[in-house]
Amino acid sequence: MSSDVRFTDFKSDKQPTWCPGCGDFGTMNGMMKALAETGNDPDNTFVVAGIGCSGKIGTYMHSYALHGVHGRALPVGQGVKMARPDIEVMVAGGDGDGYSIGAGHFVHAVRRNVDMTYVVMDNRIYGLTKGQASPTSRSDFETSTTPEGPKQPPVNPLALALASGASFVAQSFASDALRHQEIVQKAIEHDGFGFVNVFSPCVTFNDVDTYDYFRDSLVDLQEDEDHDPNDYEAAKEVILDSEKEYQGVMYQNENSVPYNEQHGVTEDMSEIPDGAPEDAMDLVREFY
Amino acid sequence: MAADLNWAIGGEAGDGIDSTGKIFAQALSRAGRHVFTSKDFASRIRGGYTAYKIRTSVDEVQSVVDRLDILVALTQRTIDENLDELHDGSAIIYDGERSWDAEIPEEMKGIDVPLKSLAEDAGGAIMRNIVALGAACEITGFDVEYLDESLEKRFGGKGTQIVENNKEAARLGQEYVQEHYDVGDLGYDMETTDNDYVLLNGNEAIGMGAIAAGCRFYAGYPITPATSIMEYLTGRIEEYGGHVVQAEDELSAINMTLGAARSGARSMTATSGAGIDLMTETFGLVATSETPMVICDVMRSGPSTGMPTKQEQGDLNMALYGGHGEIPRFVVAPTSITECFWKTIEAFNLAEKYNTPVFLVSDLAMSVTEQTFPPEAFDMDAVEIDRGKLVDDEEVQEWLDSQGRFRAHAATEDGVSPRSIPGTTDGAHMSTGLEHDELGRRTEEQEIRVQQVDKRNRKVETAKNEEEWEYREFGNPDAENLVISWGSNEGALVEALEYLEDEGVDVRVISVPYIFPRPDLTDEIEAAEETIVVECNATGQFADVIEHDVLTRVKRINKYTGVRFKADELAEEITTKLTEEVPAQ
């Protein structure tokens, strides 16, 4: 495909079945725009989607894509990038997919620092199963399975990422389209694992973490001239601040060396010879 | 068959038993002798009984037997554990200077060698096992120079001094026996030949087969007895542009493999039963997204943690039926170490020809056993690669619908859809574990659901007709007694035939490497008077499958002690089983 890719090229002809007003519309639009803006096209892009409302994104976008098993989107994305360093990889999932069933993979994906982008559509609720507590739900958030609230603190995904050795930690808000796109774009451009937690409100089942709530409470780090994303200590302070909700790039390690580079994994693994490799008999001779 | 010699070294884990055994096996192989090794080991890093056993002959050997001729015993337990296999005239090498008082059975010959002191004379107590190898050379009349070659291979990287010290240690052991014992009356005389052999185990053969087949990506999580496939590939696959990644768990390993496979790399993961349990979650996705990949299960004793270092063929049902829903798949079970190599290559071709997961099922016995082969047994020039319907930029055009969308799950006549990989222009498409239409988009429409299920099953039917699902055959093809086996029992069965022949029992052996699809054995079973199915599990999972195929009862020989079949033991079992009543219909 030529370089004049428009973001609509990343759109499939399937109409989303998300509830009208769902944050996922804005999240997806920003992702598509960021992909187009960074010079990618659908034929060199691989999108991996998890399970849940967010998981439907693979169907609504047009690219090479896999809609996989619940919680395992990150391993799939890493496999793609390791085998095909030439391909742009974007993984999208929800808070349940990433911080509950897939939490183990999240920690290790962050550690590996594969050059890919991970967008979590965080609505602090299980929407597709019709409203149960998620790992990011507030401790007093009443749901059908937690009538008195989960009574446990929500996971702080940004802190989890930072503690796992993240090289890029950011947060955005689906409704702030321009900022969301900019932040995802920075994650794509980052040399390593670009992690963006996106506040993507569920208008049907979450009446606490609403558009209004985020509009009123969100502090944009861009407006704080003192915040330097390369400053680990400053990032820590913002991320662990339980009083406020932030958007922006909290942390970016300038010296990040992505996995493929670290391990010398640079070749397109899809290309192989018609028979055994030329010097393969050497492998046999090793056993003399 | 020429006379065979059975040798073993045993002690505690951490005593260097494994590497000593390997050094001796390598020396025998260098001398043009065939070798078949086996290991007794426990799941611990130090302590406990462990042994490395070698059966060697100038003829091919492919099984262990219940006989031990020479034993290097570093502990009393080594002697006690092997009393059944030791016989009149067996020689036991031990170190009388060590704290334990070796109790050598009267009818056996105790060879007391001050292993530790002599090793210290050569440069360090650490070489005491090498002193024992020197002693073993003397007892068996085996030229110590072959041992030198093996020591060079093993220690060459550590500098000449280390190599020379080890050679000296071996000589001190040899000379000590020469001076203090008359071993001539034991009657061992190790013949050598000019043949060049390679010595490798089943997991190494699988790893080598994977590289030969163009596998470039491997993700795995360490688990006995599959880890050595990963260890083999690490450091080698990179030479061919590939990569090995240690995942955080098996869930991740299979999904990384899936990602790499979907991006066009020939990809594999390997694990054992407990890991297969976790991977089962993803089987259905691999199959419905029609992703070609190889999933290797090196079986060990289950269920649960079971006996992690013991043999069992207990995962057959899991490989055939594991996972919810109906999952098309192929199940291939190599029957020997060379077959581990060839079947791995075939598994990759099957996966890509039919865009289907292929289960490569091996087992612990085969994974730790080293065996000698002429190098031509792994003729790389004979390796063929078939990438199936992988489409390029031009071919992709044939598979676009009227709106230019790639039909990744096109319902073709043979059931096989085209496969486009990232980077292929106009090939972009979605795949999913949800039921989907030809474009990979979710659907619950009845007609399309049926179309896609039928299409996936049709691939398997096509494969059944197009591929050769042959069995391997040994013994007398016209014999009235038929013995059927799958997986690694083949070697022991083939050798059992010699014992059976001596007894006058006529047997036809059918060794089946394909579990699904599998050869139809109806005619063979109907032609036989008696049919016995041999396998290392308690319930007879393969026998069940055969009975179902042929609608007749078979007799069963099952072993689930955690130890593989031995040739002489099998011969005896078969003879007994033949006299039993046929089980009720």
> B585 lies in a domain?
no
- If residue B572 lies in a helix (H) or strand (E), which one and from where to where? helix B567-579
Q: Are A174 and A198 spatial neighbours (Cβ–Cβ below 8 Å)? A: yes
Coil/strand/helix, residue B289: coil
Cβ-defined contact of B217 to A269 (cutoff 8 Å) = yes
Chain A 133-162, residues with CB within 8 Å of chain B CB atoms: none
Coil/strand/helix, residue B11: strand
What is the distance between the alpha carbons of residues A43 and B406, in angstroms, rounded to a whole number?
A: 11
Is residue B279 located within the same domain as residue B299? yes
Q: Which of A58, A83, A87 sits opposite B430 (nearest CB)?
A: A58
Instruction: Confirm or reject contact between A14 and chain B (CB < 8 A).
Output: yes
What number is the ipTM of this complex? 0.98
> B352 lies in a domain?
yes
In chain B, which residues have their Cβ closer than 8 Å to the Cβ of A46? 262-263, 422
Chain A 91-130, residues with CB within 8 Å of chain B CB atoms: 104-105, 107-108
> B388 lies in a domain?
no
Integer angstrom CA distances of residue B263 from B266, B290, B303: 9, 13, 35
Searching chain B, which residue's CA lies closest to the CA of residue A17?
B442
Instruction: Give the bridge partners for B376, in sequence order.
Output: none
DSSP assignment string, B316-352: HHHHHH-SSS----EEE---SHHHHHHHHHHHHHHHH
Is residue B189 located within the same domain as residue B257? no
Chain A 38-67, residues with CB within 8 Å of chain B CB atoms: 42-46, 48, 58-59, 62-67
Q: How many C-beta atoms lie closer than 10 Å to residue A137's C-beta?
A: 25
Which range of residues forms the domain containing residue B103? 5-196
Token pair recorded at residue B71: 């034993």
| Each residue's pLDDT expressed in tens, for chain B with a length of 585 residues | 668 999 999 999 889 999 999 999 999 999 999 999 999 877 666 778 999 999 999 999 999 888 999 999 999 999 999 999 999 989 999 999 986 777 888 899 999 999 999 999 999 999 999 999 999 999 999 999 999 999 999 999 999 999 999 999 999 999 999 999 998 878 888 899 999 999 999 999 999 999 999 999 999 999 999 999 999 999 999 999 999 999 999 999 999 999 999 999 999 999 999 999 999 999 999 999 999 999 999 999 999 999 999 999 999 999 999 999 999 999 999 999 999 999 999 999 999 999 999 999 999 999 999 999 999 999 999 999 999 999 999 999 999 999 999 999 999 999 999 999 999 999 999 999 999 999 999 999 999 999 999 999 999 999 999 999 999 999 999 999 999 999 999 999 999 999 999 999 999 999 999 999 999 999 999 999 999 999 999 999 999 999 999 999 999 999 999 999 999 999 999 999 999 886 655
The nearest CA of chain B is from the CA of A142 a distance in Å of 31
Cβ-defined contact of B403 to A13 (cutoff 8 Å) = yes
What is the distance between the alpha carbons of residues B370 and B205, in angstroms, rounded to a whole number?
A: 10
pLDDT at B99: 63
Cβ-defined contact of A281 to B238 (cutoff 8 Å) = no
Is residue B376 located within the same domain as residue B404? no
Query: For chain A, which domains are there?
Result: 7-285 (3.40.50.970)
Burial class (CB in 10 A: 0-12, 13-18, 19+), B446: exposed
Is residue B321 located within the same domain as residue B423? no
- The answer to whether residue A2 scores a pLDDT higher than 80 is no
The nearest CA of chain A is from the CA of B303 a distance in Å of 25
The nearest CA of chain B is from the CA of A48 a distance in Å of 9
Cβ-defined contact of A83 to B247 (cutoff 8 Å) = no
Instruction: Confirm or reject contact between A284 and chain B (CB < 8 A).
Output: yes
Nearest CA-CA partner of B223 in B40, B93, B43: B43
Strand B530-535 with B555-558, pairing: parallel
* Mutation for testing the A interface, residue in B232, B295, B430 having most A CBs under 10 Å: B430
Q: Which of B252, B375, B427 sits opposite A43 (nearest CB)?
A: B427
What is the distance between the alpha carbons of residues B424 and A43, in angstroms, rounded to a whole number?
A: 6
What is the distance between the alpha carbons of residues B207 and A226, in angstroms, rounded to a whole number?
A: 54
Domain count, chain B: 4
Q: What is the CATH number of the domain that holds B485?
A: 3.40.50.920
Is residue B358 located within the same domain as residue B442? no
User: What are the backbone angles phi and psi of residue A141, rounded to the nearest 5°?
Assistant: -80, 115
* Mutation for testing the B interface, residue in A14, A69, A87, A113 having most B CBs under 10 Å: A69
Cβ-defined contact of B384 to A270 (cutoff 8 Å) = no
Reading across the β-sheet that carries B530-535, which strands appear in turn? B472-475, B507-512, B481-486, B530-535, B555-558
> B389 lies in a domain?
no
> B117 lies in a domain?
yes
Cβ neighbors of B546 (< 8 A, separation 6 or more) are B484, B521, B525, B533, B554
The nearest CA of chain A is from the CA of B212 a distance in Å of 4
Cβ-defined contact of A269 to B428 (cutoff 8 Å) = no
> B584 lies in a domain?
no
* Mutation for testing the A interface, residue in B234, B243, B266, B386 having most A CBs under 10 Å: B243
Token pair recorded at residue A101: 């069933």
Cβ-defined contact of B430 to A67 (cutoff 8 Å) = yes
Is residue B161 located within the same domain as residue B82? yes
What is the distance between the alpha carbons of residues B216 and A14, in angstroms, rounded to a whole number?
A: 35
Q: Are B426 and B396 spatial neighbours (Cβ–Cβ below 8 Å)? A: yes
Cβ neighbors of A279 (< 8 A, separation 6 or more) are none
Cβ-defined contact of B263 to A80 (cutoff 8 Å) = yes
Searching chain A, which residue's CA lies closest to the CA of residue B442?
A59
> B266 lies in a domain?
yes
Angle made by CA atoms B550, B555, B556, in degrees to the nearest 5: 110
How would residue A1 be classed by pLDDT, with cut points 50, 70 and 90?
Answer: very low
Cβ-defined contact of B375 to A284 (cutoff 8 Å) = yes
The nearest CA of chain A is from the CA of B558 a distance in Å of 34
Cβ neighbors of B125 (< 8 A, separation 6 or more) are B116, B119
Alpha carbon A62 to its chain centroid, in Å, reads 17
Cβ neighbors of B227 (< 8 A, separation 6 or more) are B220
Q: What is the CATH number of the domain that holds B149?
A: 3.40.920.10
Is residue B99 located within the same domain as residue B176? yes
What is the distance between the alpha carbons of residues A169 and B347, in angstroms, rounded to a whole number?
A: 42
The nearest CA of chain A is from the CA of B470 a distance in Å of 23
Which of the 8 DSSP states describes residue B442? B
In chain B, which residues have their Cβ closer than 8 Å to the Cβ of A108? 247-248, 252
DSSP assignment string, B349-377: HHHHHHT-EEEEEEEHHHHH-EEEE-GGG
Is residue B45 located within the same domain as residue B163? yes
Amino acid A231 reads D
* Mutation for testing the A interface, residue in B203, B380, B396 having most A CBs under 10 Å: B380
Q: Are B291 and B261 spatial neighbours (Cβ–Cβ below 8 Å)? A: yes
What is the distance between the alpha carbons of residues B372 and A287, in angstroms, rounded to a whole number?
A: 9
Coil/strand/helix, residue B181: coil
Q: Which of B382, B416, B450 is the last residue of a domain?
A: B382
Instruction: Confirm or reject contact between A164 and chain B (CB < 8 A).
Output: no
HSE, CB side, 13 Å, CA atoms: give it for residue B76.
Answer: 9
- If residue B200 lies in a helix (H) or strand (E), which one and from where to where? strand B198-201
Is residue B144 located within the same domain as residue B167? yes
The structure tokens 């002693």 sit at B135
The structure tokens 């007694």 sit at B481
Searching chain B, which residue's CA lies closest to the CA of residue A109?
B248
Coil/strand/helix, residue B229: helix
Instruction: Confirm or reject contact between A68 and chain B (CB < 8 A).
Output: yes
Cβ-defined contact of A269 to B264 (cutoff 8 Å) = yes
Is residue B234 located within the same domain as residue B188? no
Coil/strand/helix, residue B222: coil
Cβ-defined contact of A83 to B263 (cutoff 8 Å) = yes
Q: Which of B359, B382, B405 is the last residue of a domain?
A: B382
Integer angstrom CA distances of residue A29 from A91, A173, A203, B506, B539: 15, 12, 18, 74, 56
Q: Which of B162, B178, B196 is the last residue of a domain?
A: B196
Burial class (CB in 10 A: 0-12, 13-18, 19+), B47: exposed
What is the distance between the alpha carbons of residues B328 and B344, in angstroms, rounded to a whole number?
A: 19
Cβ neighbors of B203 (< 8 A, separation 6 or more) are B225, B226, B228, B229, B232, B298, B340, B362, B366, B367, B368
In chain A, which residues have their Cβ closer than 8 Å to the Cβ of B442? 59, 67
In chain A, which residues have their Cβ closer than 8 Å to the Cβ of B282? 68-69, 72
> B531 lies in a domain?
yes
Is residue B438 located within the same domain as residue B495? no
Instruction: Give the bridge partners for B469, in sequence order.
Output: none
Chain A 226-265, residues with CB within 8 Å of chain B CB atoms: 263-265
Is residue B112 located within the same domain as residue B91? yes
